[in-house]
Structures are given as C-alpha cells and as structure tokens.
Structure 1
Amino acid sequence: MRGSRPSSLAILLICFNHAKYIQRALDSITAQLFGGEIEVIVADDGSTDETVDIIARWAQLNPRFRYSQLARQPNMGITRNYARGFAACLQHDYVAVLEGDDYWIHPRKLALQVEFLEEHLECNLCSANYYVFKEDEESLSARVPVGGGYSLLDVRSLIADNVVGNFSTCVYRREVLQTLNPRLFELKAYDWIINICAARGSFIGFLNTPMSIYRLHGGGAWSATTTRKKLEDQRDALEDYDRITDGIYCADFLLLRERLDRSIEHLGENDKLLIGDLATKVALGRDFKSRPRHLLNLCPPIVLIVARLLVPPAVVQQLKKLWHRTK
C-alpha cells in the first residue's frame, strides 16, 4: 500500500515474434491475484508474425487490466526496446517485466513481490526463483534449490553469479528505474548489468519459491547463441560494465574475467564442455576448488564402495580433515 491507496503496477510485456508462446504468457498475467491497479504495457520490437494481434484479442477479453501498446516500428533491438518500455512505465509505483516467451506459474507472484518491497525498504527490486525449461530436451530445472523464505543479494554476489537470471523474474521500484544511467541502453545491456546498476546502494530480494518459467528455445536471442559465444560476449562486455559502474567493482569484474577465460579454454571444438559442467560453474563464479567433486563423481559406484571397505577409518578421518582445510 502507498499511503491510503493500493499500489499501482505496470507489467511491461516485451515481445518479438512470440506468436508461438505469447498466449501462455498472457494467460499467466490473467491468473495473477493483485489488489491494486495493473496496466499491461506492450513493447513489441517489430514482430512480423501474429504476436501483436494475439495480444490485442486478449486485451479485449480482459478489461480488468488497463492496456496500452507502444507505437509499432521496425525492429530496434532488445536494449533500445527495453529503454522505451521502462520509460513508459514510470507513472506506476512498481514495474514487473514479462518477456513474451516466458510465463509465470504462481498466481500471487506480483502480490508477493510488491508486498516484499513494501516491507523491505533496503531493496530496490525483488526477484524470485524460477524453472529453466529447455524446449529441445523438454526438461525443467530450478535455478536454485526450491524452498521458502528469501535471501538478500548485493551487487558483488550478482556479479559472481547472476542468480536473477532473466527479466521475467523481476519487480522494480519506479524510483530505481528513474535513476538508471541512460548510457546503459547504448550498450548490449541485458538483465544482468541493469540489475547490477539497480542494486547499487541497496539489496535485491530473492524469493526462494519458483514463480516463473524461463524458456530456452532455438528462436531466443540468447538461448540460440553457442556456449562459446555467450562466454566471450560476457567477457568482452566487462570493460564497459566496469566503466558504467565507475570502477567500484573493478576487482570483481577482473576475477570474473579470469574465470570466463578459463571456462573458454575448457570448451572443445564442438562447443561442449571438456570436464563435465566445469565451464558453466566457473562462469557462474564458483571456484576451481569444486573440481575434485566433479572428478570423484566420475568414479564408478563399485569403486567407491570397495574403497570405503578397504580404507581404515583413521585414514578416512585424516583425509576428511585435509579436504576441509583445502576447501
């Protein structure tokens, strides 16, 4: 609540040729239980399929939402489209984002995130756990272990590991969007650097309950990119990101650059990881000390069983002490 009135909320619906997926996204908006005013603001980036027509039909059938669509124009790219989308939302107290190929799975996602922000003034944005859906494999996996409660993320933890992961998990205070440096949108600025800038001087609230689906499919700008290209693009952007954050996090970006370089070295010619999922974990900021665990997992179970039977308990205890000292 803002004073005596319910909070108003904008849902920024970002889309580009999402006709195959957009109805699922719209249905997840319809399912939201929220006591305040909601306006759905559509920022379509020059779709050439039926995306905009599907959204317009949905809007006619759902008059409980205010609805507006930004002027249609040729494709401008995701970063510029976000810039105009955020600017159009600033008359509302809070701004949620939903990309047209993602969808929400918790009917109180928006209500819970707004309630969290109204109770936690130390946070400028609230994110939530989500499931990654790999369309080609038809697999679902939670970004972090499913649970209750929340955690607070700061900028340095977000640099090390982009737990927030995508815009569709986020609800922002209007005020923090107003303070974003316009130069951000001159870069290739996805959710990661925008959230780094939004969290400066505050925390990000991260709810541990999964509330959305992040879809990976061949038509997605990011998911269609090879692993090597993703890592190289992330590494090559760090200098600009360091500059736009005034060099305050230089050491953190340098450490991440080293990890990304190592990750790229561990990619084979076919863009597959040479040592399990080592490159992914390093890119997320985990230390190389996790490597022994991966190597241990390569042992057949029967070898581990026999080893436990043959190795004296005293030796096991010494090995455990040595393991913990090296962690």
Structure 2
Amino acid sequence: MHSKEPLVSVRVITYNHERFLRECLDGIMAQETSFPFEVVIGEDCSTDDTRLICQEFQARYPDQVRLLLHAQNVGAQTNARLTREACIGKYIAFCEGDDYWTDSSKLQQQVDFLEAHPRYVLCFHNCWMKFEQNPGKAMELFQTYTKTDYAIPDLIGKWLIPTASVVFRNQLLTNYPEWLRNAVVGDTPFFILLASFGRLKLLPGVMAVYRRHDSGATNQLHGYRYWERMIELYSAINKHFNDQYSKDINPILKWFHYHLTQLSLQQGDYPKYRLYAQRCLHFTKELLVRHQHVGLFHYRYTVLYLTAKSPLLFSARTRWQAKTKIL
C-alpha cells in the first residue's frame, strides 16, 4: 500500500455496471507500480447494485479508492467531467466501469514513457473488443494502426483512441470550453483539446478490453438530435481553433448533414430534408472548389440536389425507398 500523494489518478465512471464493475476494479488494483496511485470512481445513481460494489472496494482499499456518489443522476458527460476534475494525480488514466485492464504493468509502462518524453501529453495502446451480446464471437482489435505518433487532424471525426487505454498529463486544462462541457460525446473532443498541448503516442501491446453491449453508452445514440449535436460540436471545435482544421472538419460536417438527409427521407419530412440537403451541398461545393474534384456530379449528390428542389420528387423517392427497403 502506498502512503504518499498519488502520481496517477485512475478515473472510473460507472452506471448500471453491476455485471462488469468488479472485473474493472480488480484489473486496476492489480497494477504493479513503483509509484502510488488512486482510483476515483464517479457513480451516477445506478438502478442496480453498482453503488454497493463501489462501496465494497472503498472498504477494501480505503487509502486508494475515493467515491463520488451523486445524489441524483447527472448524465454520462457530466459524471465524466466531475470525476476527472476530482483527480489530483500528475497523470490521469481512464477505465470505464464496463471495461477492464489485462496487463498488470500497463500503468508503469505508460507513466515511464510520459516521464521520459515531456513533449507528449498522452499515450495510449490498442485494446480488444469483446462482444457481450455474442459470446461465441472472437474478440477483435479495436483498431489497426498505421503509425505511432498522432495529432489533432488524426482525431477529427474518428474514434481512434479507446478510452480504457489512455494515460495523460493532468492540469493542462484549467478552463473547459462550453462546447466540451455540452459535448454529446466526450472523450474524443477532450483528446483533441489535449492534443493542442503536445503529441500523442501509441505504445505497443494490447493491454485492455473494451466491451460492446446493448446498454453501452455508444449504443444509446441515435436520431436527429444526436447528429445535430455532433454538427454543433464539430462546428464549435472548428471555431475554437480559428478554422485551422477546416479542411479536416468540413468533410465531417458534410457527412453529418448527409446522414440527416437520410433520416429525413426515412421520416418523409421534406422541410428537414431540404434544409439538410442544402447544407450538405454547401459543404460539397466548398470541397469541390478546394480540391477541384467532380464529385458534385456523382449520382448520390445529383439525386440529393434534385430531390431537395422538388416535393414531388421527394415523395416519389420516399415511396421508392420504402418499397425497395434500401433504408
């Protein structure tokens, strides 16, 4: 047991993870380190026995485990931020309550790297994906990486870094921009902001497991409002960096608007379809000018343009789509 101030804070956020949480916390407490670390758990008013498990581990490790037990449900993003802000270590590691670490040297390896390489602000590693709804399916790697150094453009519009893999420098951010506080998804925007302070490094090895299951946070996102909030988020990121990354962000915004046209088509909502199609085509034209590409005349965008111009064509297309069950 370490008695000194923790060098690392492990942030765990959890909600209704009764089935998984013990494996998560066991993997953390199994870490073999030359430095002290703490575990800060944000429990968001679960409806199962998750809170009891948190209290059980605090009783077992009173000098290492701290609990943030919210009086009412605050939501995943607020819980993540409040728990992160409660971490006092020089470094912070993430592990959500339904994921788990598989290598007892994980923290030591990552902290050793960051201590030796001050220009890097975050390091991460690959993970296995475990498919809880299909126990017979073999685990797969989270990503196939093609390099080891990463920066902001690599992160835009991509889920590149598994949450359970990161260790990063604390106290780089003293003020959180409003767009990050309100983000519909939190980790990748947070990593983008961190990357404005330095480089990100992929370390070798696969040292954690990310669980895919129906009740996972990423499976709860759908509908108009999600994609609209993603547009708000990436527009705010672009503004935050004074349009420095427009060439990377605008294609993502175009794709979000195109996705909204397809939802509108499914719903038979012509006003929304027209609105999102016009915005999608705006980004397409902008990209054409920049890249001198003839993609605007691609079949998909020609149909998008014509359908947005005519309610009759829109109605015909919705009937055709429903009949052929393409969507």
Fold agreement, TM-score > 0.5: yes
Tell me the residue number matched to 2:121: 124
Alignment of 1:162-181 (within 5 A): 162-165=159-162, 167-178=163-174, 180-181=176-177
- CA–CA distance in structure 2, aligned partners of residues 237 and 12 of structure 1: 24
Tell me, yes or no, if the aligned pair for 1:180 and 1:198 is still in contact at 8 Å.
no
Tell me, yes or no, if the aligned pair for 2:150 and 2:200 is still in contact at 8 Å.
yes
- CA–CA distance in structure 2, aligned partners of residues 110 and 254 of structure 1: 37
Q: Could you say what secondary structure the match of 1:211 adopts?
A: strand
Instruction: Report the alpha carbon displacement of residue 238 of structure 1 after superposing the two structures with TM.
Output: 1.9
Distance 1:41 1:209, change over 3 A: same
Tell me the residue number matched to 1:88: 86
Tell me the residue number matched to 1:113: 110
Tell me the residue number matched to 2:14: 15
Tell me, yes or no, if the aligned pair for 1:125 and 1:172 is still in contact at 8 Å.
yes
Q: 1:284-325 CA distances to partner (integer Å, 9 max, x unpaired)?
A: xxxxxxxxxxxxxxxxxxxxxxxxxxxxxxxxxxxxxxxxxx
Q: 1:189-242 CA distances to partner (integer Å, 9 max, x unpaired)?
A: 411111000111411111231111111111112124459987665445322332
Tell me, yes or no, if the aligned pair for 1:43 and 1:85 is still in contact at 8 Å.
yes
Q: 1:125-156 CA distances to partner (integer Å, 9 max, x unpaired)?
A: 11111112222123311023489xx7110000
Distance 1:245 1:80, change over 3 A: farther
Distance 1:76 1:184, change over 3 A: same
What fraction of aligned residue pairs are identical, expressed as a percent? 24
- CA–CA distance in structure 2, aligned partners of residues 182 and 233 of structure 1: 13
Instruction: Report the alpha carbon displacement of residue 257 of structure 1 after superposing the two structures with TM.
Output: 2.5
Tell me the residue number matched to 1:74: 72
Distance 1:246 1:44, change over 3 A: farther
Q: Could you say what secondary structure the match of 2:234 adopts?
A: helix
- CA–CA distance in structure 1, aligned partners of residues 218 and 197 of structure 2: 29
Alignment of 1:214-229 (within 5 A): 214-225=210-221
Q: 1:242-277 CA distances to partner (integer Å, 9 max, x unpaired)?
A: 2333432222110222345567789997xxxxxxxx
Tell me, yes or no, if the aligned pair for 1:180 and 1:197 is still in contact at 8 Å.
no
Distance 1:83 1:161, change over 3 A: closer
Q: Could you say what secondary structure the match of 1:248 adopts?
A: coil
- CA–CA distance in structure 1, aligned partners of residues 47 and 33 of structure 2: 33
Distance 1:183 1:228, change over 3 A: closer
CA RMSD of aligned residues (A): 2.9
- CA–CA distance in structure 1, aligned partners of residues 182 and 175 of structure 2: 16
Instruction: Report the alpha carbon displacement of residue 187 of structure 1 after superposing the two structures with TM.
Output: 3.0
Tell me the residue number matched to 2:153: 156
- CA–CA distance in structure 1, aligned partners of residues 154 and 144 of structure 2: 17
Q: When the two structures are superposed, what TM-score results if normalisation uses the length of structure 2? A: 0.70
- CA–CA distance in structure 2, aligned partners of residues 78 and 246 of structure 1: 29
Tell me the residue number matched to 1:48: 47
Q: Could you say what secondary structure the match of 1:70 adopts?
A: strand
Decide which moves more: 209-218 or 176-185.
176-185
Tell me, yes or no, if the aligned pair for 2:58 and 2:67 is still in contact at 8 Å.
no
Q: Which runs of 5+ in 2 are unaligned?
A: 267-327
Distance 1:190 1:104, change over 3 A: same
Give every structure 1 segment of 4 or more consecutive aligned residues whose post-TM-superposition deviation is greater than 4 Å: 226-233, 259-269
Distance 1:43 1:230, change over 3 A: same
Q: Could you say what secondary structure the match of 1:99 adopts?
A: coil
Q: Which runs of 5+ in 1 are unaligned?
A: 270-327
Work out whether 1:30 is the aligned partner of 2:26. no
